[in-house]
Homo-oligomer: A and B are copies of this chain.
């Protein structure tokens, strides 16, 4: 699957096929500094995920891309205390270039889909309770599958391509026993919902990506707010998938 992607023709995949001969033996000072900063950024974002409650119990994950390399958090460790030297570096095929602590995140194949299919600059995986609840409480039938649909809340405008008057759909894929088994259905969801920068995993959490780490973080905060709002509104009998700008409780 991943191999296919690299020779794929998806217009949204600007970096596909350029992953070769990109690792010179000698690095400039600027490259050394840039790598150190990327490692520190991964640690900082992982701490932030933990603080927000999105990475409790070693869950969650984060990765960013610099040119032909991706920086990825290690797997199965407390995300709030990762050190820069524990971060993995891999190429765009997921081949580890520089080993970190233990194993590379099990989310790596999923992160790669965001890099290849959507030209992402950073991707995060959140175990936010809001995302988990929304995937169960607010799931709506859509074709063969399910979506989380939201409409009429200002925060939709914070999403790339979001408009307050239009319904915005986030696909919900089934959960699987192992994280890497999600890769194929996540790929299909990304292709089927090209407007969404997020894919929910039922009873599990969400994958969210953006142009770079700043954009990814802000997208993630908007999505999480919408998950929380939609679940809370449902406690009051309000369906946030059909809200308009101007009508309140009842139209």
Interface residues of A (CB under 8 A from B): 56-59, 78, 127, 129, 132-133, 135-137, 139, 146, 152-155, 157-158, 163-165, 172, 174-177, 201-205, 214, 217-222, 224-225, 228-229, 231-236, 238, 243, 245-246, 248-249
Closest Cβ neighbor of A234 among chain B residues: B236
**Chain B residues whose CB sits within 8 angstroms of the CB of A78 once the complex forms:** 214, 217-218
In the complex, are the beta carbons of B136 and A249 less than 8 A apart?
yes
17 chain-A/chain-B pairs, Cβ below 8 angstroms: A57-B225, A59-B155, A78-B214, A78-B218, A129-B232, A136-B233, A136-B236, A146-B248, A152-B203, A154-B201, A157-B177, A174-B245, A174-B246, A176-B245, A177-B245, A234-B236, A235-B235
In the complex, are the beta carbons of B132 and A218 less than 8 A apart?
no
Q: Name the contact of A155 in the complex, choosing from B57, B221, B243 (C-beta under 8 A).
A: B57
Q: Name the contact of A165 in the complex, choosing from B56, B135, B177, B218 (C-beta under 8 A).
A: B177
Closest Cβ neighbor of A132 among chain B residues: B229
CA distance A217 to B205 in the complex (A): 21
**Chain B residues whose CB sits within 8 angstroms of the CB of A158 once the complex forms:** 57-59
